[in-house]
Amino acid sequence: MTDRYAVVGHPVAHSKSPRIHGLFAAQTRQDMRYEALLAPLDGFVATVRDFMAVGGRGMNVTVPFKEEAFRLADTLTPRARAAGAVNTLAFHEGRIIGDNTDGAGLVADIRDNLGLALKGKRLLLLGAGGAVRGCLLPLLGEGPSPLLIANRTADKALVLAREFGAGVAGCGFGDLAGLSFDIIINGTSAGLAEVALPLPPGLFAPGALAYDMVYGRQTPFLTQAAAAGARCADGLGMLVEQAAEAFLVWRGLRPETAPVLKLLRQELA
Ligand code: ATR
């Protein structure tokens, strides 16, 4: 029987997950179907339960339901618990397991697609909202040193850093003067509003990587980074890698991501 999966969101029509998982399924010859489900804003739980009732095996969760999925899950993986959000649901005998593959996807993209080890690297995360929190545990696991979180509202960065304990510090943008980093990841939503971040000169060490979690657009952050001579990457690789991690959770095997990423890049151009 064909196994059913879906991405649930609001909106969801723009989601690339059906395309990505369709390519993964074809590549690995898995008998599965993956669809997009638009849930009403007050109908997330009902949409999940209905999908379980028709035999669904798992779901991806996108905006704005990741926190609601966190609350719905019967059990949570450590990385989902740390993220405070769930992007992957797996259904087993009527129980809902909540996972979060965003951070692992980001780490895989930096390590495998961009070829950079995080160990010992000076890592700066910009932002202290859900996108940054979602990736913190897997990033910490790679052993960057130091790992600094800078946020417009400094307090939020300090609180988040404290929660994750040793190895993470928090500050405001104003505290970045005089510092430089090997890898700078933008997890703010400023790029969506086309707003530039107040980054001091010298922030990008020579040969630094500038990474924007947003994909498919030249954000002001990436424009600033390119002008400073940094190597630039958008979040398309993270999108494909988090999907591969979800596929691994569901099917027990990890598809090859390079050909899928290449195809998506061509389709976006
Ligand atoms: P997400 O789930 O996408 O992370 P969020 O939880 O609302 O969304 O967090 C948005 C992040 O982008 C926050 O870190 C926010 O900074 P504040 O905590 O100071 O609000 C940051 N952000 C949004 N717009 C920004 C801007 N114009 N300049 C700088 N930071 C911005």
Pocket test for ligand 1, best of 152, 155, 173, 214 (most atoms within 8 A of CB): 152
| DSSP letter (8 states) at residue 153 | S
Q: Which residues are catalytic?
A: 66
**How close is the Cα of 232 to the center of ligand 1, in Å?**
21
Domain with CATH 3.40.50.10860 in the chain: 3-100+237-268
User: What's the gap in Å between 208 CA and the centre of ligand 1?
Assistant: 23
The reply to whether ligand 1 has any atom less than 6 angstroms from the CB of 131 is yes
Chain segment 242-257, per-residue pLDDT in tens: 999 999 999 999 999 9
Q: Whose CA is nearest to atom 31 of ligand 1?
A: 190
**Structural class in CATH, domain 3-100+237-268:** alpha beta
Cα–Cα distance between 218 and 225 in angstroms, integer? 11
Domain with CATH 3.40.50.720 in the chain: 103-234
Band (pLDDT 50/70/90 cuts) for residue 210 is very high
Q: pLDDT by residue (tens digit) across 145-196?
A: 999 999 999 999 999 999 998 899 999 999 999 999 999 999 999 888 889 9
Write the pLDDT tens digit of every residue in 46-97.
Answer: 999 999 999 999 999 999 999 999 999 999 999 999 999 999 999 999 999 9
**Atom number, ligand 1, closest to the C-alpha of residue 173:** 29
**C-beta of 189 in contact with ligand 1 (< 6 A):** yes
What pLDDT, on the 0 to 100 scale, is given for residue 201?
85
DSSP labels for 97-151?
Answer: EEE--HHHHHHHIIIIIS----TT--EEEE--SHHHHHHHHHHHHT--SSEEEEE
ipTM > 0.85? Answer: yes
Question: Two tokens at 194?
Answer: 């086309």
Q: Evaluate whether the domain defined by 103-234 bears CATH number 3.40.50.720.
A: yes
**127 annotated among ligand-binding-site residues:** yes
Q: Is any atom of ligand 1 closer than 6 Å to the C-beta of 190?
A: yes
Has residue 1 got a pLDDT over 90?
Answer: no
180: Cβ below 6 Å to ligand 1? no
Task: Decide: 134 and 103 in contact? Cβ < 8 Å.
Answer: yes
| pLDDT at residue 230 in the model | 97
At residue 14, the pLDDT reads: 94
Number of Cβ within a 10 Å radius of residue 198: 11
Gap from CA of 174 to ligand 1 centroid (Å): 16
